[in-house]
Amino acid sequence: MCAGASDKIRVARIGAAHGVRGEVKLWSFTEDPLAVANYGALETADGARRFDIESLRPARDFLVARLKGVDDRNAAEMLRNTELFVPRKRLPEIDEEGTFYHSDLVGLAAVTPEGAEIGKVVAVHNFGAGDLIEIAPAGGGASFMLPFTETVVPEVDLQERRMMVVLPAESE
């Protein structure tokens, strides 16, 4: 993604087919998972394909969605791992302090409390136990991940395009 705020926000990912009638497993990245159906047509990152959700219901750890025009298992399987986006303007503004769209964080400079550059945020992940920021080091080398918590990231300044990062102490 670009260094600034993206005009599209990733809100879901299609998983495997669910059953034989064209339903798909859907992983929602919205605060309220069912809200993904409230934002209108979902589209691929390049905007080449659009999907309308006809029905949506919760399952164990995912949602089950019926998408308009997807009528059988084969069509549903072709969509596996498709990421779905909505234009940012369709999403509500965030008024809560300390809450961000992940795309707002990507590209921010990561700096120490003293102001030394650590690197750039290249991604925000959530594998189920909370958000992690992935940072590409300023000097090159392998990126690393840190928990996106108030302890590790006590300050985010979107205007200045930076976040303060407190690196964990190295073990002796």
SS3 string of 93-117?
Answer: CCCCCCCCCHHHHCCCEEECCCCCE
Give the pLDDT mean for 153-160.
92
Give the pLDDT mean for 37-60.
93
Examine residue 56 and state whether it is found in any structural domain, yes or no: yes
Domain holding 107, by residue range, is: 102-164
Helix (H, G, I), strand (E, B) or coil at 7: coil
Examine residue 170 and state whether it is found in any structural domain, yes or no: no
pLDDT at 76: 96
pLDDT at 100: 82
pLDDT at 4: 38
Examine residue 20 and state whether it is found in any structural domain, yes or no: yes
pTM of the model: 0.68
Same domain, 82 and 124: no
Examine residue 134 and state whether it is found in any structural domain, yes or no: yes
Decide: 20 and 14 in contact? Cβ < 8 Å.
no
Same domain, 55 and 109: no
**What's the CATH number where 69 sits?**
2.40.30.60
pLDDT at 6: 61
Q: Which of 89, 120, 153 is the last residue of a domain?
A: 89
Q: What share of the chain is helix, strand, coil (3-state, %, to 5)?
A: 10, 40, 50
Cα 17 to Cα 10, 34, 106, 148: the distances in Å are: 20, 19, 31, 32
**pLDDT tens digits for 89-142?**
888 787 788 788 888 898 999 999 999 999 999 988 877 677 899 999 998 889
Residue 24 and residue 40: Cα distance in Å, rounded? 18
Same domain, 79 and 111: no
pLDDT value at 169 more than 80: no
**What's the CATH number where 156 sits?**
2.30.30.240
pLDDT value at 1 more than 70: no
pLDDT value at 172 more than 50: no
Domain total of the chain:
2
Examine residue 1 and state whether it is found in any structural domain, yes or no: no
Residue 88: which residues within 8 A CB-CB, separation 6 or more?
5, 6, 7, 8, 9, 101, 103
Q: Can you tell me which residue has the tokens 């979902």?
A: 42
Same domain, 72 and 134: no
pLDDT at 124: 87
pLDDT at 43: 94
**pLDDT tens digits for 2-34?**
333 468 888 899 999 999 999 999 999 887 899
pLDDT at 110: 96
